[in-house]
Amino acid sequence: SAVISQKPSRDICQRGTSLTIQCQVDSQVTMMFWYRQQPGQSLTLIATANQGSEATYESGFVIDKFPISRPNLTFSTLTVSNMSPEDSSIYLCSGSGPNSYEQYFGPGTRLTVT
């Protein structure tokens, strides 16, 4: 199994600023994903992080707001840009292994925008 870490674990930010969240996997994973979980809600997929190329975004999410990088197979970053209070959520990084039944999650980054 893979162990996923995220930094920071939580942050309080002012509106209009940006925050970059880092995700590190302890072993190579085939795919990496970023999810958002708003308070009391389910997980919503933001994008699939593609190694060495632009991320694939889901409907309602755009690169200008959520730029994502994945320079190698074990590391990815998500930036939440020009933040507003509506961006207050938990952001989770996820990695999928070579077998279809493997999908692991990081502990999440709890973001509060004031």
Partner 1 sequence: AQKITQTQPGMFVQEKEAVTLDCTYDTSDPSYGLFWYKQPSSGEMIFLIYQGSYDQQNATEGRYSLNFQKARKSANLVISASQLGDSAMYFCAMRDNTGGFKTIFGAGTRLFVKA
Min dist. Cβ of residue 68 to partner 1 (A): 14
Min dist. Cβ of residue 43 to partner 1 (A): 4
Min dist. Cβ of residue 70 to partner 1 (A): 14
3-class state of residue 15 by DSSP: coil
Q: Based on CB atoms, which residue is closest to partner 1, 88 or 103? A: 103
Q: Which amino acid is at 85?
A: P
Q: Based on CB atoms, which residue is closest to partner 1, 44 or 69? A: 44
Contact at 8 Å (CB) between 59 and 48? no
C-alpha dihedral, 61 to 62 to 64 to 65, nearest 10°:
0
Please list every residue from 72 through 111 that binds partner 1, using CB under 8 A: 90, 92, 94, 96, 100-101, 103-105, 107-108, 110
> Whole-angstrom Cα distance, residue 26 to residue 93?
13
CB atoms within 10 A of CB 93: 26
Please list every residue from 40 through 79 that binds partner 1, using CB under 8 A: 41-45, 48, 56
Contact at 8 Å (CB) between 8 and 110? no
Binding site for partner 1 (CB under 8 A): 31, 33, 41-45, 48, 56, 90, 92, 94, 96, 100-101, 103-105, 107-108, 110
